[in-house]
Amino acid sequence: MNFKETRPIYLQIAERICDEILSGEFKEEERVTSIRDYSALVEVNPNTVMRTYDYLQQQEIIFNKRGIGYFVSQGAVKMIKRMRKETFLNEDINNFFQQIYSLDIPMEKIVDLYDKFIDKQNKIKEKQQ
Residue 129 has pLDDT above 80, yes or no: no
How many domains, in total, are found in the chain?
A: 1
Q: Where residue 23 sits, what CATH number does that domain have?
A: 1.10.10.10
Asked, for residue 93, whether it belongs to a domain, the answer is no
What is the average pLDDT across 39-52?
96
Hey, CA dihedral for 112, 118, 121, 127, is it positive or negative? negative
Q: Which SS3 state, helix, strand or coil, does residue 17 take? A: helix
Q: What is the pLDDT of residues 74-99, one digit of tens each?
A: 999 999 999 999 999 998 999 999 99
What is the pLDDT at residue 23?
A: 92
Q: What is the pLDDT of residues 101-110, one digit of tens each?
A: 999 999 999 9
Residue 1 has pLDDT above 90, yes or no: no
What is the pLDDT at residue 24?
A: 94
What distance separates the 2 farthest-apart alpha carbons in the chain? 57
Residue 54 to residue 35: CA distance in whole angstroms = 11
In the chain, % helix, strand, coil (3-state, to 5) comes to: 65, 5, 30
Asked, for residue 36, whether it belongs to a domain, the answer is yes
Per the structure, the complete domain to which residue 30 belongs is given by 9-76
Please give the share of the chain, as a percent, with pLDDT higher than 70. Answer: 100
Residue 2 has pLDDT above 80, yes or no: no
Asked, for residue 31, whether it belongs to a domain, the answer is yes
